[in-house]
Amino acid sequence: MNNTLTTTNYNFPCQSKVYHGKVRDVYSIGNDTLVMIATDRISAFDVVLPQGIPYKGQVLNQIAAKFLDATADIVPNWKTASPDPMVTVGVRCQPYKVEMVIRGYLTGSAWREYKKGVRSLCGVPLPEGMKENQKFPSPIITPTTKADEGHDENISKAEIIAQGLVSREEYEQLEKYTYALFQRGTEMAAEKGLILVDTKYEFGKKDGEIYLIDEIHTPDSSRYFYSEGYWERFEKGEEQKQLSKEFVRKWLMDNGFQGQAGQKVPEMTEAYCNSVSDRYIELYEIITGEKFVKADAKELDKRIKKNVCDFLR
């Protein structure tokens, strides 16, 4: 765990400001360029957990880069280069204040609400009689607000437009992009024996044009089931075999932590952190069809600084 990157404090050429997110640190270069570093931090229930996960940042950055390249024909995106295994450099956009969450299956937080009797999610009616992990008749979009601090909140399309967060015309374009990206992600996952269950997309605007920003189709932003055995497990009411961060949330819940006041994060041993790392690497290899090559992690800080500075020069 010594070879994890959990904090950054760089001063790159022409750097104008820095934003430290839950998982990513974003450095502004001048007015038009962003350097996004995917750290090895891991968060759940909007809480950054105390230990880093080896190679997690590399996994997330390289999966996101691959999917950004694979969807650039659907919508322009912010990426221009990936000068380090943990870094993407791209254009600065003005982010929309909503995240586009799209769900193909009833699972996770949606299932937890459904189990309580909720039959409308973000203004979208849910059919009666559904079971956990059941496929929706067609994917549904359940947007959230994009909180600067604290929790993102569910919000409906009508509320987004009424509050002026996004104009009706632009929101409907975001919907079209979201459905098209999810379809592409679903097809790419199916080729590798996976089901893309749900995911989220973030969009921004630059020079009047909509851009896809941030990461896409990573295990932090998406949930995947294995296709093989899905129906047998579903019919028996068994848990699905999945590749996503949900297994971390489940481990936390099983140990009495859901991000509530007064709750303590259970001990994250080195063995546990390595097991989480193995799961992230497994998803990388399955979803990309490529062997994961661990970058030299002995001096992560120096490596990233050199690669980014060389690129910016």
The token pair at 90 is 């791209």
pLDDT of res. 49? 95
113: its two tokens? 């609400």
> pLDDT tens digit string along 67-84?
999 999 999 999 999 999
| pLDDT above 90 coverage of the chain, percent | 88
The two tokens of residue 294 are 């661990």
Q: What's residue 179's pLDDT?
A: 98
Residue 186 pLDDT greater than 80, yes or no: yes
Q: How does the average pLDDT of the chain come out, rounded?
A: 94
Using alpha carbons, select from 34, 33, 6, 11 the residue that is nearest to residue 22.
6
Residue 149 in this model has a pLDDT that exceeds 70: no
3-state SS track over 101-136: EEEEEECHHHHHHHHCCCCEECCEECCCCCCCCEEE
State pLDDT tens for residues 198-234.
Answer: 999 999 999 999 999 999 999 889 999 999 999 999 9
- The pLDDT score that the predictor gives to residue 2 is 63
Structural domains in the chain, sorted by start: 15-94+269-312 (3.30.200.20), 95-244 (3.30.470.20)
Helix or strand holding residue 28 (H, E): strand 24-29
% of the chain exceeding 70 in pLDDT: 98
- Quote the pLDDT of residue 196: 96
The pLDDT of 39-66, averaged and rounded, is: 95
Long-range contacts of 136-140 (CB under 8 A, 24+ apart): 136/103, 136/104, 136/105, 136/106, 139/102, 139/103, 139/104, 139/179, 139/182, 140/102, 140/103
pLDDT (tens digit, 9 = 90+) per residue, 4-15? 999 999 999 999
105-133 average pLDDT score: 96
User: Would you call 53 helix, strand, or coil by DSSP?
Assistant: coil
Is the confidence at residue 243, as pLDDT, over 90?
no
pLDDT of 115 > 70? The answer is yes
Instruction: Using the predicted structure, report yes or no on whether residue 162 has a pLDDT greater than 70.
Output: yes
* pLDDT for 151: 66
Task: Give the per-residue pLDDT at 6.
Answer: 96
Place 48 in a pLDDT band, splitting at 50, 70 and 90. very high
Determine the pLDDT at residue 246.
79
> What does the radius of gyration of the chain's CA atoms come to, in whole angstroms?
19
Average pLDDT for 91-102: 97
Q: Is the pLDDT of residue 150 over 80?
A: no
